[in-house]
Amino acid sequence: MKHYGAENIKNIAVAGHSGSGKTSLAEALLFKAGASDRLGKTADGNTVCDFDPEEIKRKASLSTALASFEYNDIKVNLLDTPGLFDFEGGMCEGITAAGTVMITVSAKSGVKVGTEKAYEYARSLGKPTMFVVTKVDDIDANFYNVLTDLKTTFGPTVCPVVVPVIKDHKVISFVNLIEMKAYKYDDKGNAVETDMPTAEISEKMEYRMDGLVAAFSEAVAETDDELMEKFFDGEAFTQKELVHGIHKGMNEGVITPVVCCSAATTAGIDMILKEIELLLPAPADNKPAFAVDDKDEPTEVAYDEKAPTSAFVFKTVADPFVGKMSYIKVISGVLKANSDYTNTTSGATEKIGKLYTMCGKKQTEVTEANAGDIVVAVKIGAATSDTICGAGINVKFPEIEFPKPCYKMAVTAKSQGDESKISTGIQRLIEEDKTLSYGMDPFTKEQILTGLGEQHLDVATAKLKSKFGAEVVLKEPKIAYRETIRKKVKVEGKHKKQSGGHGQYGHVWIEFEPCLSEELVFEEKVFGGAVPKNFFPAVEKGLQDCMKKGVLAGCPVTGLKAILVDGSYHPVDSSEMAFKTAAGIAFKEGLKQADPTILEPIGKLTVTAPDENTGDIMGDLNKRRGRVIGMNPASKKGMTIIEAEVPMREMQSFTMQLRQITRGKGTFTLEHLRYEQLPGNLVSEVILSMDNEPDA
């Protein structure tokens, strides 16, 4: 590829709801621009951007793919992002690196939750947006209903630019409102200019076209005082004024253009390529990138190739053959191959060897990348969200805000001896996917893998097997129950054994009573030397060992105070081991007499959900024995924060249930709060489940 400056690069993230045609649109753009020699289909598993075996198998995008191509003296870096909620992290990476976000909306199903999420995330980062209405040729499509839906949902910034002409439920041509020309497409997607629509085609069409032109002109007029004056005078805008107005309006976030196409037939794709060239901002037009300097003071970094080099790692891929691949967006200066840079996030030196541009999985080696461009470096130490700087600059760009993982499963090896292989493989996957986490549960000692949903963890384990040869089994995590007592008792523990020579003798009287401490509280109130002081530690050690396993279900014991009050010893046969055993006997007998019970962990739940779903969520929490503590309006309009205390044993299915109730809009956090007594009707169930544990 030839040299491209920051004014001739277009970084575009394709985002939207699952099934809205993102990958098909990317495929059609690549094919029409000549970057691909065939028009692949998601259903056939032969698209440029869905090349991972798991993506081919599931017929859906699971991570962000980069496809770079050249078109009319510009370089386009297309970032095809996933639409499934379980893989939302990929959307965050793609939108962060993009200069413009192209949001696909199906002409069949209209605005969905994924549409809103993509738009909101793009707006939160100040990214220009554009809607592409796909599948307009489908028999169930209704472009104008979708356009109304877009305006209702996203407000007056929505501005139609390319619209279809429909007769008898079929698209007969497309009108470009900038050119005020209509085009027909043949079976191969080639455009031929045709007559503008008249009332003969449809009674509504002429009236509708007048309204679209008026709305389009008004939106453009809003971007400039001179254009507004011209608009009020009733003068028509020139094509150059329209292009300049939309371009300016997109950059300022006051215009979101709407175009339409059929990716399957490539009808309208040539016009989208034209809009990419004319309307979408290049990095040179984008606002400077926000950063903090070495004194943690806010600063801005312009997309200037003459400035010192700074770059941002927005995505990492763990490839078992190539090694770690780091996707880098160059912010300023020129990033050069075979050069050393400083990782200002970690402080390490990054030795960059080869650089590549990507078109799906196809790699093309380059020697350098200018400000605004996106390239891939192999086998460097940097992680996702790290900043790389050259001499003369020391800044850090903000880390990507990923959704927090909330769906947990316990991980066990399918074959013994694979534990280290599993741990290494999962750590590599976590480098790649920041919405995964892995670690040991401090209460149950299980290895827990946490992600955004069931499908997310399913894909992670499939990659673990295919990439790193480690097979695992996922199962529901154990609940960290505890046992405690409810009344005070005094019991005897006596260990006496004679077996020739020295015997064993330990004898204690211990009082057990409930207390608030999680750990064992041990005291001694022995009078007259009934138990010598040197055996006190052995008694405490015996009790500590027994705390690991209670008498009801074998759960760890908590809230216990033990007071050594009396006992006896033998001058020859008594030993530390004997007193330790005697303490264990007293412990088991004491707990049986002290009205033992099981405690369950209670979590603090914070749910953020749409206002209209709060009733359903509270009803669901009641079924889970939850207690709602309070409700407050969220910072985001139309959302409410619900705070509740819930038993952990009831929460395994909550991730999927919340997604179902809120259609994917709800989020939550859950953290351990305290222990409470388990209801009596559940005690026998817990005891039975613990008895059936394989390691019990």
- Out of 101-105, 154-158, 434-438, 488-492, which region has the weakest mean confidence (pLDDT)? 154-158
- Out of 90-104, 252-266, 417-431, which region has the weakest mean confidence (pLDDT)? 417-431
**How large is the average pLDDT for residues 448-477?**
92
CA dist list (Å): 295 to 89, 208, 289, 395:
30, 57, 17, 9
Question: What is the predicted pLDDT for the residue at 668?
Answer: 94
Considering Cα of 355, then 357, then 359, then 360, what sign does the dihedral take?
Answer: positive
**How large is the average pLDDT for residues 355-376?**
94
**How large is the average pLDDT for residues 361-377?**
94
**Banded pLDDT at 235 (limits 50, 70, 90):** confident
Residue of 470, 441, 502, 491 whose CA lies nearest to 596: 491
Question: What is the predicted pLDDT for the residue at 64?
Answer: 95
Domain 9-278 in CATH: superfamily? Answer: P-loop containing nucleotide triphosphate hydrolases (3.40.50.300)
Q: Rounded to whole angstroms, how far apart are CA atoms 235 and 632?
A: 51
Q: How far apart are the first and last CA of the chain?
A: 64
What's the token pair of residue 444?
């149950």
- Quick check: 265 and 272 in contact, CB under 8 A? no
**Banded pLDDT at 696 (limits 50, 70, 90):** very low
Residue 592 confidence (pLDDT) above 60: yes
**Banded pLDDT at 690 (limits 50, 70, 90):** confident
**How large is the average pLDDT for residues 289-293?**
93
Residue 694 confidence (pLDDT) above 60: no
Residues 133-185 have pLDDT tens digits of 999 989 889 999 999 999 999 988 899 999 998 887 788 899 999 988 999 99
Question: Which bin fits 379, alpha (ψ -120 to 50), beta or left (φ > 0)?
Answer: left
Architecture (CATH level 2) of domain 407-475: 2-Layer Sandwich (3.30)
Residues 604-620 have pLDDT tens digits of 999 999 999 999 999 99
Question: What is the predicted pLDDT for the residue at 84?
Answer: 94
Supply the DSSP string of 12-76, one letter for each residue: EEEEESTTSSHHHHHHHHHHHTTS-SS---TTTT--SS--SHHHHHHTS--S-EEEEEEETTEEE
**How large is the average pLDDT for residues 447-475?**
92
**Banded pLDDT at 234 (limits 50, 70, 90):** confident
Architecture (CATH level 2) of domain 598-691: 2-Layer Sandwich (3.30)
- Quick check: 510 and 565 in contact, CB under 8 A? yes
- Confirm whether 407-475 and 598-691 share one CATH topology: yes
Question: What is the predicted pLDDT for the residue at 450?
Answer: 95
What's the token pair of residue 472?
């695992």
- Out of 36-50, 468-482, 492-506, 528-542, which region has the weakest mean confidence (pLDDT)? 492-506
Give domain limits for the chain: 9-278, 289-396, 407-475, 482-594, 598-691
- Fold (CATH) for 482-594: Ribosomal Protein S5; domain 2 (3.30.230)
Q: Rounded to whole angstroms, how far apart are CA atoms 332 and 5?
A: 11
CA dist list (Å): 503 to 114, 201, 500:
75, 108, 7
Neighbour-count burial of 142, counting CB atoms closer than 10 A to its CB (0-12 exposed, 13-18 middle, 19+ buried): middle
Domain 289-396 in CATH: superfamily? Answer: Translation factors (2.40.30.10)
**How large is the average pLDDT for residues 104-117?**
94
Residue 411 Cα to chain centre, angstroms: 20
Other CB atoms within a 10 A radius of the CB of residue 402 amount to 19
Identity of the highest mean pLDDT range in 218-222, 225-229, 635-639, 669-673: 669-673
Q: What backbone torsions phi and psi does residue 646 show, to the nearest 5 degrees?
A: -135, 145
Question: What is the predicted pLDDT for the residue at 551?
Answer: 92
Residue 206 confidence (pLDDT) above 80: no
For the chain, the average pLDDT equals 91
Q: Rounded to whole angstroms, how far apart are CA atoms 3 and 25?
A: 27
- Percent of the chain predicted with pLDDT > 70: 97
Query: What 3 state SS string does 221-270 have?
Result: HCCCHHHHHHHHCCCCCCHHHHHHHHHHHHHHCCCEEEEECECCCCECHH
**How large is the average pLDDT for residues 528-541?**
90
Residue of 243, 245, 237, 252 whose CA lies nearest to 219: 245
